[in-house]
Amino acid sequence: MINLLQTLIRGPFDVVERVFSAVFSPNANPFLFLGTLSFYFFWIVAISGIYLYIFFETSISGAYDSIEYLTHTQWYLGGIMRSMHRYASDAMAVTVTLHLLREFSLDRYRGARWFSWITGAPLLWLLFASAIGGYWLVWDVLAQYIAVTTSEWLDWLPIFNSPMARNFLNEASVDDRLFSLLVFLHIGIPLALLAGMWIHIQRVSHSKTIPPRGLALGSLGAFLAMAIAKPALSQAPANLDVTVTNVGLDWFYLNIYPLFDLWSVEGVWLLLIAITIILMLLPWLPPLKKQPTAVVDPNFCNGCQRCYVDCPFGAITMKPHDFRPGHQQAVVNADQCTSCGICAGACPSSTPFRRVDELVSGIDLPQLTVQTMRSNTDDAIAALSESPRIVVFNCQHGAELSTLKSSSVALISLPCIGMLPPSFVDYVLRRERVDGVLITGCPPEKCYHRLGSVWTEQRVEGTREPHLRTKAAKARLRIRWAMPHEAENVKREVRHYQLELARDLSSSDTEQGSTSRD
């Protein structure tokens, strides 16, 4: 059921992301920066909100008039700020919703990642509460409609001695103090939202909260265009002696309100509570099978901090070494470890060239140690009987490639491609044991373990430790990222690569033959 739902959601995302990557490039594809854009839009809303607050009057008559002044008299700045405040909030609702759906469809919310998911659910309530409070402040007919409906909605909770809706019976019921309270809430709730957003990314290292410059300027320009093309305007002033009949709604935030005319208040509460509970329980529906987590061997840990820096989930910390004074040692927090093995791929001691009987790394996955990786690789290469011989290192979350194994193709599967120490590429190519290497895994923007593909690219390019050791290895290495449903693309790539290698081999044989004849 969950798998089906994920597949149904992932399909449209894949299509849209491919199109946007072609148009914007993957480095500025908005669909790959949904969480980042949410942070960015929050800051636009906050800065424009601070400006609006300077001119806002906290009284019944002053509230509407001060916003009218900003909108019409000071349209060139106040009006623009008001529109950007509104449209950036709307865009944030969109990016937050898409971010939630995308992470769900990529199955990046279970296991050790429960924390980010769970802390995200209350943020939805805070985001909507912030926005609804903002509409209230304008004190036009929309504010009146929201005020009356929201108070009737909240009155269902057994926390008020006197119904809150009695404050909005008619014009005589409202007083200026209400606006002071509303302003306080409209500042306090967004601050709580910001604090929640900070908590939300606490277990995500290298999180991006600033979008690429092109995307930042592009979206800012889009909000400016919206502000000029369709400025945010107030509706008629609120008048509690007359019921609101027809009202313009912001459907991004107020979509729940028409339900109150169709359902009972209890029904709406039930719906919202049910959605919240299901969201909170999702990481355990079903729970992710816990794999053994990374283990540090102090004998081989030199405290280099590479694993600490590379871990995508902040599961590694450093402490004073157990028995080497003045040195540090990595420590794994098992609750945060996703068993991706990226730490083992980063460890300088994870090199297959080490001449020891038992190859032990400073940090290793018990279920697939570097020693096992090396022996699996040796066995797979030994079984190759036809040229050109290729070793394919693949990520278990990328394309399904088990049928690729043949007499000329060896397949080594890893929990994440970031677990592959680059020295393994040098290792399999030495003494021409194989003719080529292909690395494949989930695309960097969709990497199941967030940064495995990114780190691998950087290690191969030589911009991140550990590097490839030889230039020859770089020349004989191909990288082809692919999603689970793109196995055929990888297989095609392998076939093409083998044909190219076969051509190279035959031409070098010919050259050697002519050299020996000379």
Partner 1 sequence: MTRPLKILARVIAYGLFITFIVGFSNWPTYQHLAPDQATVKLSFQVAGELKQPCRQRSAEEIAEMAPNMRLLDDCPRERLPVDVVLKLDNQVLIDERLPPSGLKKDGVSVIYRHLSVPAGDHEVALRIRNSAHNQGHDIEKSIAITLKPAQVLVIELDNKDGTIVFQ
69 lies in the site for partner 1, by CB under 8 A: no
Query: What x/- string results for residues 155 through 184 when contact with partner 1 is judged by CB under 8 A?
Result: x-----xxx-xx--xx--------------
91 lies in the site for partner 1, by CB under 8 A: yes
17 lies in the site for partner 1, by CB under 8 A: no
Nearer to partner 1, 38 or 219 (CB): 219
Instruction: Evaluate the CA torsion angle 35, 37, 43, 45 in order and state its sign.
Output: negative
Q: Looking at 244, 316, 343, 409, which residue binds partner 1 (CB under 8 A)?
A: 244
Q: Looking at 33, 104, 135, 145, which residue binds partner 1 (CB under 8 A)?
A: 145
246 lies in the site for partner 1, by CB under 8 A: yes
Nearest residue to 123 (alpha-carbon basis) of 100, 101, 150, 102? 100
Query: What x/- string results for residues 20 through 59 when contact with partner 1 is judged by CB under 8 A?
Result: x-xxx-----------------------------------
End-to-end Cα separation, the chain, in angstroms:
70
Contacts 24+ apart (CB under 8 A), 478-481: 478/436, 478/437, 478/438, 478/439, 479/438, 479/439, 479/440, 480/438, 480/439, 480/440, 481/398, 481/440, 481/441, 481/442, 481/443, 481/444, 481/453
514 lies in the site for partner 1, by CB under 8 A: no
Specify the amino acid at residue 331: V
Consecutive H or E run containing 392: strand 390-395
Nearer to partner 1, 32 or 451 (CB): 32
Structure tokens at 27: 């480095």
3-state secondary structure of 507: helix
Nearest approach in angstroms of CB 185 to partner 1 is: 21
CA distances (Å), origin 395, targets 220, 392, 411, 479 = 38, 10, 10, 12
Burial class (CB in 10 A: 0-12, 13-18, 19+), 143: buried
Apex CA 18: angle with CA 17 and CA 23, to 5°? 95
Nearer to partner 1, 98 or 124 (CB): 98
Nearest approach in angstroms of CB 257 to partner 1 is: 8
- Residues ≥6 apart with Cβ < 8 Å to 100: 120, 124
5 lies in the site for partner 1, by CB under 8 A: no
Nearer to partner 1, 220 or 288 (CB): 220
3-state secondary structure of 208: coil
Binding positions for partner 1, 380-409, rule CB under 8 A: none
243 lies in the site for partner 1, by CB under 8 A: yes
Nearest approach in angstroms of CB 239 to partner 1 is: 9
Q: How many binding residues for partner 1 (CB under 8 A)?
A: 44
281 lies in the site for partner 1, by CB under 8 A: no
Nearer to partner 1, 243 or 375 (CB): 243
Nearer to partner 1, 160 or 284 (CB): 160
At residue 47, φ and ψ (nearest 5 deg) are -65, -45
Stretch that binds partner 1, among 226-234, 281-289, 328-336, 348-356 (CB under 8 A): 226-234
CA distances (Å), origin 346, targets 340, 440, 471 = 12, 18, 20
Q: Which residues bind partner 1 (CB under 8 A)?
A: 20, 22-24, 86-87, 90-91, 94, 145, 152, 155, 161-163, 165-166, 169-170, 218-219, 221-222, 225-226, 229-230, 232, 240-252, 257-258, 261
